[in-house]
Amino acid sequence: MSSREDILGRVRAALHRNAGNAAVAREVMAAALANRHPGPQPAVVSEPRALLERFRLKSEVASSTVDVVATDADVPAAVAKYLGAMRLPTSAVAWASLGALDWVGAGLKVETRGARDADLVGITGCFCAVAETGTLMMCSSPDTPAAVSLLPETHIAVVRASRIVPYMEDAWNLARAELGSLPRAVNFISGPSRTGDIEQTIVLGAHGPYRVHLMIVEG
Amino acid sequence: MEIKSMRFKANAEASLANVVLQGNLKNAKGKFVTKRAEAIKEIDDFEGTRDAAAAIRNKVIDNLDLWLERFENRAQETGAQVMWAKDGAEVCRLVTEIARKHKVTKVTKSKSMLSEEAGLNQALEAAGIQPVETDLGEYILQVDNNEPPSHIIAPAVHKSLDDVADLFHKVHGTPRKTEIPALTREAREVLRGHFLTAEMGLSGGNFLVAETGSVALVTNEGNGRMVTTLPKVHVVITGIEKVIPTLEDLSTLMRLLPRSATGQSISNYFSILTGVKKPEEHDGPEHLYFILVDAGRADVVGGEFHEMLRCIRCGACMNHCPVYQTIGGHAYGWVYPGPMGSVLTPLYAGIENSIDLPHAATLCNQCGVVCPVKIPLPDLLRKLREKQTDAGLRPLTERVGLRVWAWVAQRPVLYGLGARLGARYLKWLAGEDKSIRLLPAVQEWTRGRDFPAPQGKTFRELYAARQKSAKESQQ
């Protein structure tokens, strides 16, 4: 007997499984999968201005830094300003979806491709953002590779204010509506990577980025 | 992993006598407790959320066979392969076979307690495949002669900064560093090379989502993302009890897990991985395997300990346990320490191999109060004690003693007389300092603590006196 049959067989026996109760349980299971509903949620005000403010506040609690700009066109200059102020390199790897911005005009050398170990700055967008916890939702695809937000020491993420939703459950609904099924990797990111494994002292920059800078675009 | 739980009493005494360990435990004490207390204030309906989480877990466990089939089906549709393992040995065999098939020489591992159960690192090494632990705590332990973890969330919590500084100086051959960020950077640089060269990544799974056939990983360091993004093969090892129905259920559980574990509102990274990379994608594994592991779990389904299967491995019970906080995790002698470990070890590694664990509790119910999925841990510990007594696994003196006590307790007059005599004897024994240093019948117990002496009257005597005076004052 295969291990699969052995394990499932013992589970079935323990649950007194028979054709009758299996049919009932299958209906209950189908209903649970069809009628998905959120559990209790903490209050989050869903008015746009309040959402932006909550997202900003919670992101800062998670040790991200936040900048707000008016339009997409303002992003390259704001990124250049941040990198300059932090004395960080001016070359970066970015998602293809951000390739059309005028990076050269802002004095930056930005390549759109997958990330490599030597990349020090990674610039991404995000699928949406969750106000409850100050969290970015990243969906992987050929144009939005996961490693760009992981390998570089600095991660800069462009967040459209209109894509800030109250809860993670709203993010799932957006993904179902816009993508149909889940991409290979959904990564929720809340601030720079960290560890507390030595004396429970939090250190930023464990294996992923040391810093996460959010560029919220209002327009 | 070898089971050393039979030596619990000796291990616990050694831990109590270990000055360095006691210092490290004292230093760590309370940090998780304080952070958790702050973090749960953000949840308006914390009790309701715990109830919802327990209901989600029950929903699956009550029909586990069907939910497993459903998960398997969905995972296969996304391009993953699903395998099943009866025990740790089969986990080791399957992982080694997968590694050989893909010509793997190095495996980077994100933290997996099940791989500790299975002793996977030793098996991989024996097969000539290099396992590299990449969680900082697990890495510290691996380079320290494969020391076992002492906590399920903070594996190296028993080590001090000095311990790690000495260790890295020795194994990396670098100048001794004394700052935590510098030590973290050193480990990052060593491990980055491994992330980039390993052909296979191995992770546990916090949850398996039946709706989408995905595995969900809760991490902070980014190592979980590395091992599931860079290598061409990703192997997920999880217990069969980890299935949950939907993404909405995942969100509910995620409001509780990081808060209960480390006191974070959400972990830094929360990754939901589904299927394999598409040809035109830059990163992600080309092959994804799920190994669904029984190792004792199937036999807990439907029985008197089934509530334990709800466990989401947050570690809150051990963070709040006065016993764990005093002796640390190693004394428990297997993978899982603290209250959850004292239930899981007898169930998964044998009740006869862990005689003392269900007794390593004061039944104060701190663990039950903080458990995010409302597992009645003290009840389960008490049930295990009953089972041991029924099976004749407890010492003869204890079994006879309990019989005698039960016989007396059913005879109120005799019980009252016995209690009166006992209370007076103990008062006399304690003498002027009113505490008992050594009680001959329970020497083991009084060796570690002083016992406050009764003040001469029993509860029933005091109660009778109070009733009498109340009646007199009414008249």
Report the distance separating Cα A13 and Cα A107, nearest Å: 68
What is the rounded average pLDDT of the residues A60-73?
Answer: 97
Q: Which residues of B376-411 are buried (b: 16+ CB within 10 A; e: fewer)?
A: ebbbbbeebbeebeeeeebeeeeeeeeeeeeeeeee
In a domain, residue A39? The reply is no
Do A23 and A78 sit in the same domain of this protein? no
Q: What pLDDT is attached to residue B72?
A: 98
Do A199 and B301 make contact, defined as CB atoms within 8 angstroms? Answer: no
Residues of B in contact with A36 (CB under 8 A): 211, 246-248
Mean residue pLDDT of chain B comes to 94
Residue bearing the bigger pLDDT, A168 or B472: A168
Do A53 and A26 sit in the same domain of this protein? no
What is the rounded average pLDDT of the residues B133-161?
Answer: 95
pTM: 0.94
Percent over 70 (pLDDT), chain B: 100
Do A196 and B192 make contact, defined as CB atoms within 8 angstroms? Answer: no
| B211 contacts chain A (CB < 8 A) | yes
Size of interface A-B (CB pairs under 8 A): 259
Do B66 and A203 make contact, defined as CB atoms within 8 angstroms? Answer: no
Q: Give me the DSSP letters along B297-311.
A: SGGGTTSTTGGGGG-
pLDDT digits (tens, 9 = 90+) for B307-322: 999 999 999 999 999 9
Do B271 and A58 make contact, defined as CB atoms within 8 angstroms? Answer: no
Do A18 and A63 sit in the same domain of this protein? no
Option in A22, A115, A189 nearest B66 (CB): A22
Do A25 and A75 sit in the same domain of this protein? no
Distance (Å) from the alpha carbon of B44 to chain A's nearest alpha carbon: 5
Q: What pLDDT is attached to residue A1?
A: 86
Residue B100 has pLDDT above 80, yes or no: yes
Per-residue confidence at A60, pLDDT binned at 50, 70, 90? very high
Do A17 and A95 sit in the same domain of this protein? no
Do B268 and A62 make contact, defined as CB atoms within 8 angstroms? Answer: yes
| A49 contacts chain B (CB < 8 A) | no
pLDDT digits (tens, 9 = 90+) for B257-292: 999 999 999 999 999 999 999 999 999 999 999 999
Residues of A in contact with B295 (CB under 8 A): none
pLDDT digits (tens, 9 = 90+) for B13-23: 999 999 989 98
Report the distance separating Cα B301 and Cα A10, nearest Å: 9
Option in B222, B280, B301 nearest A206 (CB): B222
Residue A172 has pLDDT above 80, yes or no: yes
Residues of B in contact with A14 (CB under 8 A): 298-299, 301-303
Delimit the domains of chain B by residue range: 42-298, 396-474
Residue B442 has pLDDT above 90, yes or no: no
Residue B378 three-state SS: helix
Of B13, B282, B277, nearest to A147 by C-alpha is B282
Write the ipTM.
0.97
CATH code for the domain in which residue A91 is found: 3.40.50.10420
Q: What pLDDT is attached to residue A84?
A: 98
Report the distance separating Cα B99 and Cα B109, nearest Å: 13
Do A167 and B251 make contact, defined as CB atoms within 8 angstroms? Answer: yes
Domain with A112 in it: 48-217
Q: What pLDDT is attached to residue B223?
A: 97
Q: What pLDDT is attached to residue B147?
A: 94
Do A80 and A117 sit in the same domain of this protein? yes
Residues 51-80 of B with CB under 8 A from A: 52-53, 56, 59, 62-70
Distance (Å) from the alpha carbon of B389 to chain A's nearest alpha carbon: 24
Option in B31, B70, B301 nearest A29 (CB): B70
Percent over 90 (pLDDT), chain B: 83
Chain B residue with the nearest C-alpha to that of A29 = B67
Residue B441 has pLDDT above 80, yes or no: no
Residue B445 has pLDDT above 80, yes or no: no
pLDDT digits (tens, 9 = 90+) for B361-371: 999 999 999 99
Per-residue confidence at B98, pLDDT binned at 50, 70, 90? very high
The alpha-helical segments, DSSP class H, found in B41-133 are 46-61, 64-77, 88-101, 113-118, 120-126
Q: What pLDDT is attached to residue B475?
A: 72
Report the distance separating Cα A145 and Cα A136, nearest Å: 15
| A35 contacts chain B (CB < 8 A) | no
What is the rounded average pLDDT of the residues B56-77?
Answer: 98
Distance (Å) from the alpha carbon of A87 to chain B's nearest alpha carbon: 20
pLDDT digits (tens, 9 = 90+) for B184-235: 999 999 999 999 999 999 999 999 999 999 999 999 999 999 999 999 999 9
In a domain, residue A65? The reply is yes
Query: Identity (one letter) of the amino acid at A17?
Result: R
Per-residue confidence at B444, pLDDT binned at 50, 70, 90? confident
In a domain, residue A41? The reply is no
Q: What pLDDT is attached to residue B402?
A: 87
| A182 contacts chain B (CB < 8 A) | yes
Report the distance separating Cα B178 and Cα B279, nearest Å: 46
In a domain, residue A61? The reply is yes
Residue A217, token pair as written in the block: 């675009």
What is the rounded average pLDDT of the residues B338-343?
Answer: 98
pLDDT digits (tens, 9 = 90+) for A173-205: 999 999 999 999 999 999 999 999 999 999 999
Interface test with B, best of A184, A186, A194 (most B CBs within 10 A): A184
Do B28 and A208 make contact, defined as CB atoms within 8 angstroms? Answer: no
In a domain, residue A43? The reply is no
Q: What pLDDT is attached to residue B431?
A: 82
Question: Are A216 and A53 a contacting pair, CB within 8 Å?
Answer: no
| B415 contacts chain A (CB < 8 A) | no
Do A121 and A91 sit in the same domain of this protein? yes
Of B68, B49, B51, nearest to B208 by C-alpha is B68
Task: Give the CA angle between residues A177, A132, B257 to the nearest 5°.
Answer: 95
Do B222 and A43 make contact, defined as CB atoms within 8 angstroms? Answer: no
Residue B337 has pLDDT above 80, yes or no: yes
Interface test with A, best of B46, B59, B208, B281 (most A CBs within 10 A): B281
Option in A37, A133, A201 nearest B265 (CB): A133
Per-residue confidence at B143, pLDDT binned at 50, 70, 90? very high
In a domain, residue A15? The reply is yes
Residues of B in contact with A212 (CB under 8 A): none
| A199 contacts chain B (CB < 8 A) | yes
Do A187 and A136 sit in the same domain of this protein? yes
Mean residue pLDDT of chain A comes to 97
pLDDT digits (tens, 9 = 90+) for B400-436: 888 899 999 999 999 999 999 988 888 888 888 788 8
Residues 103-132 of A with CB under 8 A from B: 113-115, 117
Residue A219, token pair as written in the block: 């327009």
Do A29 and A83 sit in the same domain of this protein? no
What is the rounded average pLDDT of the residues A114-139?
Answer: 98
What is the rounded average pLDDT of the residues B169-185?
Answer: 97
CATH of B42-298, picked from 3.20.20.100, 3.40.50.261, 3.40.50.10420, 3.40.1280.10, is 3.40.50.10420
Number of domains in chain A: 2
In a domain, residue A58? The reply is yes
